[in-house]
Amino acid sequence: MQAQHLPESWIGYYTSLMYGAAIVGSVSTARLMAQFSVRSLQLGSVVATGLGYALFAGIGMSVLPVALACLGILLMGMAYGVIVPSSSFVLAQTYSHRMQPLVVSLRQTGVPVGTALVALVAPHVAQRHGWHAVTWVVLAALGLTFALSVPGLRNHGAVSMQLPQRQHLLASLRGVLQEPAAARLAVIAGIYAMNQAALTTYLVPGLFWLHGLSVGKSAGYLAIATVAGAVARIVFGLTIARFGRTALHLALIGLMTGVAWALLLWPLPSALRLTAGSVVLGMTAMGWNGILLAELGRSAPAGRTAEAVATGTSFAYLGVLVAPLAFVQLDHLLGSKAAALAGIALLAVIAGAALLRRSATSSAWV
């Protein structure tokens, strides 16, 4: 944004627009799968992402470039919303019920790994060849993704016989939410996504505000958290595939999120405590979604995996949208940025405690 001399506040607007489009894409997935082949939907999402990124790369201060950038954001957001539920359907058709937590968690490592790769590659490419060169790197990566995806999706055709037509987009979401277990998981997804958004958005400025750390050092702790989150997604997927107990895993994630924020927000910080807090926060605030989405998919009726997962992702994207607003309002109300972050963490602790109580008194989710 700085290279194009655009206001930094626009980042928030574009982020909100993207996640709003992702929610629409998620709730539309079942209907799209009933009309098109899964293969076309998946490959079309990759194409839409590339086209959207190309449109966004031409952003400028005049009206037409801004309008095209907004269109690009909408395309990328819709594609992002569609790809997770539809790929969950593919994984459910390909792998056993027992393997779902692991394979879904492996898929979900793409976000933190991709974030780390962008952080490593993009600054150097932009510095040496200009920021436009980053666009070509991204488009090349998407082209490679498209080429590699074609053979694997060849056998996944239309599923219209399994997914009846819906009268409107929210019908499938409402149907999933009528199941108490799915509704609980969806709410938990929203709460945990708020903490994930708080981590990615406020960890670096938070360490600067509260402890006076440099941006470089603060970014280093974010990198530690990101790597820990990617590793945790795989580890949690392995342990649930081996031992089960999804509810217990999710409960401990919520409780340990509070511990992690306490380590990071505590006055008089030490490098050891900040490192430990970053690792634990990365494992919890970023490690939850693979196993939660897998549980939604596993508990769905036959042929309804995409709808169930779309409900979870919709609530998660809503959590990402709500987190910055909640932070600003809590900061204004409490007069403390640390208290604002602690308030968001408290939601995760409450959700974790409720899950822990339920897992101890119920045989569900074993």
The reported pLDDT for the residue numbered 166 is 47
DSSP state of 156: -
- pLDDT value of position 216: 79
Taking 50 as the threshold, does the pLDDT of residue 160 lie above it? no
Dihedral angle of Cα 172, 175, 179, 181, to the nearest 10 degrees: 20
What is the mean predicted confidence (pLDDT) over 323-336? Answer: 88
Assign 94 a pLDDT band (cuts: 50, 70, 90): confident
What are the tens digits of pLDDT across the range 189-213? 999 999 999 998 888 888 888 888 8
Mean pLDDT lowest among 54-63, 150-159, 249-258, 346-355: 150-159
Tell whether 272 is covered by a domain: yes
Question: What is the pLDDT at residue 91?
Answer: 79
Which residues, listed in sequence order, are joined to residue 37 by a DSSP beta bridge? 158
Tell me the one-letter amino acid at 261.
Answer: W
165 within some domain: no
DSSP string across 196-251:
HHHHHHHHHHHHHHHH---HHHHHHHHHHHHHHHHHHHHHHHHHHHHH--HHHHHH
Q: Which of the pair, 53 or 113, is modelled with greater confidence?
A: 53
- φ/ψ region of 179 (left if φ > 0, alpha if ψ in -120 to 50, else beta) reads beta
Note whether 142 and 46 are within 8 A (CB). Answer: yes
pLDDT (0 to 100) of residue 303: 64
- The model's confidence at residue 366, banded by pLDDT at 50, 70 and 90, is very low
Q: Is the pLDDT of residue 315 over 70?
A: yes
Q: What is the CA radius of gyration of the chain?
A: 20
Tokens coding 172 = 């499938």
Structural domain boundaries enclosing 239 = 10-152+170-361
Of 83-97, 153-167, 226-240, the one with minimum mean pLDDT is 153-167
Taking the C-alpha atoms of residue 288 and residue 249, their distance in angstroms, rounded to an integer, is 8
Contact (Cβ atoms closer than 8 angstroms) between residue 74 and residue 51: no
Position with higher pLDDT, 12 vs 96: 96
Looking at residue 57, its pLDDT comes to 79
Which of the four pLDDT bands, split at 50, 70 and 90, describes residue 154? low
Burial degree of 214 (CB within 10 A; 0-12, 13-18, 19+) = exposed
CATH number, residue 260: 1.20.1250.20
Rounded CA separation 138/145 (Å):
11
Q: State residue 165 phi and psi, 5-degree precision.
A: -60, 145
**Is 161's pLDDT higher than 50?**
no
Q: Is 250 inside a domain boundary?
A: yes
How far is 53 from 128, CA to CA, in rounded Å? Answer: 21
| DSSP-derived 3-state class of residue 37 | strand
Domain count along the chain: 1
112 vs 70 pLDDT, higher one: 70
Cα 274 to chain centroid, rounded: 24
Give the pLDDT band of residue 68 (cuts 50, 70, 90). Answer: confident
Residue with tokens 């958290």: 225
Domain membership of residue 157 (yes or no) is: no
**pLDDT reported for residue 209:** 85
pLDDT digit string (tens) for 279-288? 999 999 999 9
Residue 326 has pLDDT above 80, yes or no: yes
For helices 170-177 and 10-35, the axis angle rounded to 10 degrees is: 90
Q: Report whether pLDDT(363) > 80.
A: no
Q: Is residue 229 part of a domain?
A: yes
Instruction: Give residue 170's pLDDT.
Output: 59
- The percent of residues in the chain predicted with pLDDT above 70, rounded, is 84
* Lowest mean pLDDT across 65-79, 112-126, 157-171, 269-283: 157-171
- Which sign does the torsion angle of CA 185, 186, 188, 193 carry? positive
**Per the domain annotation, does 349 fall within a domain?**
yes
In single-letter form, the type of residue at position 288 comes to W
Tokens standing for residue 191: 């709460």
At 128-138, the pLDDT tens digits run: 877 777 788 88
What pLDDT was estimated at residue 157? 56
